[in-house]
Amino acid sequence: MSFPSLSLRRSQFDALTTVRDIQIEQFIAIHSGLEGLTCFSSAHLKEILINTVTPDQADSLVGLSLFISAMKRESEHTVPEILGGISQALENIPADFRWNEQELQSWHEIGPNFTAVLESDAIVELAKFLELSYDYGKLWRNGRIITDVRPVFDSRGESIKSALVSFTFRLEFDDGSNRKTESIALDETDVKRLLAECERALTKSKTVVEFIKQVPTVIAGAENK
């Protein structure tokens, strides 16, 4: 099954250009180095790759690997079919950016070894891990608690008789299409309960990891290696 027509963004084209210049021997070394490894973050994968390629090449390779893995899951096409679609798109880009014959040949030559890296267990498992990490209806972006002081004036408004301290929990999140903000009023008891729940959640996550540590398990967002 051939891959449908594909349009490349400039950033993707630049990444492809960087990856194209990775030598076949380096792809072989990367594939060998990934054997038996489990990566839980893009940063961890990059740390492994820079043992073989430059940091720029590692960045581009990580980005393209995750991009192609996502296309594979969404389209149910194979990696070779997706790379074939990318090759066709490369031949149809504007002349100002189009690769010459030698550059296209270099791209085709790395195809089998690039495919082997993309189909490695380390890349496949990382792509699945990242997909599960963000598979929610709403995704946290930021949150903060604003302390608010409201004065209570006398009847004439000429002096402050007392003050009320309250809190606002400002939550920013994505709902799949837009970034949204919610503001929730809290009092001191609410803040203490929220703090206790956060501490309990961190304790539970560590407990779960200890319980099932016989298989690779990580906490989403933690610095896992």
pTM for this prediction: 0.62
Contacts of 131 (CB under 8 A, 6+ apart): 70, 73
Residue extents of the structural domains in the chain: 10-133, 139-186, 195-220
Tell me the C-alpha distance between 67 and 62, whole Å.
Answer: 9
pLDDT attached to residue 219? 66
Polymer length in residues for the chain: 225
Tell me the C-alpha distance between 84 and 6, whole Å.
Answer: 10
3-state secondary structure the chain: CCCCCCCCCHHHHHHHHHHHCCCHHHHHHHHHHHCCCCCCCHHHHHHHHCCCCCHHHHHHHHHHHHHHHHHHHHHCCCHHHHHHHHHHHHHCCCCCCCCCHHHHHHHHHHHHHHHHHHCCHHHHHHHHHHHHHCCCCCEEEEEEEEEEEEEEECCCCCCEEEEEEEEEEEEEEECCCCEEEEEEEECHHHHHHHHHHHHHHHHHHHHHHHHCCCCCCCCCCCCCC
pLDDT attached to residue 21? 93
**Contact call for residues 8 and 71 (beta carbons, < 8 A):** no
pLDDT attached to residue 38? 82
Residue in this structure with the two tokens 């309960």, named with its chain if needed: 193
pLDDT attached to residue 23? 95
Q: What is the pLDDT along the chain (225 residues), one digit of tens a residue?
A: 556 667 788 888 999 999 999 999 999 999 999 988 888 788 888 999 999 999 999 999 999 998 898 888 878 789 999 999 998 888 888 777 789 889 999 999 999 999 999 999 999 888 888 877 766 667 788 999 999 999 999 999 999 999 999 999 999 988 766 788 999 999 999 999 999 999 999 998 888 878 777 666 666 666 655
Q: CA distances (Å), 65 to each of 6, 10, 141, in order?
A: 16, 17, 25
pLDDT attached to residue 9? 84
pLDDT attached to residue 2? 58
Amino acid at 92: N
- List the Cα angle 30/36/38 in 5-degree steps: 90
**Contact call for residues 15 and 64 (beta carbons, < 8 A):** yes
Tell me the C-alpha distance between 11 and 136, whole Å.
Answer: 27
pLDDT attached to residue 211? 77
